[in-house]
Amino acid sequence: MMKLINMNETAETNFVCDFCNKTFQREQSIFKHMCETKRRVSEKDNAGNRIAFQCWLTFYQKNTNARKPKTYLDFVKSAYYIAFIKFGNYCVDVNAINIARYLDWLLENKISVDSWTSDQVYNRYLIYYLREEDPLDAIARSIETTINLAEPDNIKAGDYLRYGSKNRICYKITLGKISPWMLFQSVSGIEFIESLDEGLQRMIFDYINPELWSIKFLRNKDSVKQVKDLLKQAGY
Ligand SMILES: [Zn+2]
Q: How far, in Å, CA of 46 to CA of 121, rounded?
A: 24
What is the rounded end-to-end Cα distance, in angstroms, of the chain?
87
DSSP secondary structure letter of residue 155: -
* Residue among 7, 9, 25 at smallest CA distance from 17: 25
Q: How far is the CA of 30 from the centre of ligand 1 (A)?
A: 8
**Residue 70, pLDDT above cutoff 70:** yes
For residue 69, pLDDT beyond 60: yes
- 10 CA to middle of ligand 1, Å? 17
Cα 35 to ligand 1 centre (Å): 4
- Could you give the 3-state DSSP secondary structure of residue 228? helix
User: Is the pLDDT assigned to residue 9 strictly greater than 60?
Assistant: no
What DSSP line would sit under 17-43, residue for residue? -TTT--EESSHHHHHH---HHHHHHHT
SS3 15: strand
pLDDT bin (cut points 50, 70, 90) of residue 131 is very high
The amino acid at 78? S
Q: Are 181 and 138 in contact (CB under 8 A)?
A: yes
Contact assessment for residue 170 and residue 208, using Cβ atoms and an 8 Å cutoff = no
Backbone angles phi, psi at 183, to 5 degrees: -65, -40
State yes or no: pLDDT of 17 exceeds 60.
yes
Query: In percent, how much of the chain has pLDDT > 90?
Result: 89
pLDDT higher than 90, residue 174: yes
The model's confidence at residue 66, banded by pLDDT at 50, 70 and 90, is confident
**pLDDT tens readout for residues 99-114:** 999 999 999 999 999 9
User: pLDDT band at 67, cuts 50/70/90?
Assistant: confident
Q: At CA 224, angle to CA 232 and CA 203, rounded to 5?
A: 85
- Which pLDDT does position 2 carry in this prediction? 42
Alpha carbon of 82 to ligand 1 centroid (Å): 18
Mean pLDDT across the chain, nearest whole number?
93
pLDDT of residue 12: 58
Distance 66 CA to ligand 1 centre (A): 28
* 52: CB partners within 8 A, 6+ apart: 75, 84, 85, 87, 88, 89
**Residue 235 near residue 205, CB atoms below 8 Å:** no
- Separation of CA 18 and ligand 1 centre (Å): 6
51 touches 99 (CB < 8 A): yes
Confidence of residue 4 (pLDDT cuts 50, 70, 90): very low
Q: Is the pLDDT of residue 188 over 90?
A: yes
Taking the CB of residue 137, how many other CB atoms lie within 10 A of it? 13
Confidence of residue 13 (pLDDT cuts 50, 70, 90): low
What's the mean pLDDT in 64-74?
Answer: 87
Question: Residue 88 Cα, ligand 1 centroid: separation in angstroms?
Answer: 24
| Contact status, residue 236 vs residue 158, Cβ threshold 8 Å | yes
Confidence of residue 68 (pLDDT cuts 50, 70, 90): confident
Backbone angles phi, psi at 15, to 5 degrees: -110, 115
Model confidence at 117: pLDDT above 70: yes
Angle of CA points 87, 92, 96, to nearest 5°: 85
Assign 64 a pLDDT band (cuts: 50, 70, 90): confident
pLDDT exceeds cutoff 50 at 5: no
CA 106 to centroid of ligand 1, rounded, Å: 34
Find the 73 Cα to ligand 1 centroid distance in Å: 13
What's the rounded Cα separation, in Å, for the pair 144 and 178? 9
More confident call, 62 vs 199: 199
CA of 21 relative to ligand 1 center, distance in Å? 6
Question: What confidence score (pLDDT) does residue 99 get?
Answer: 97
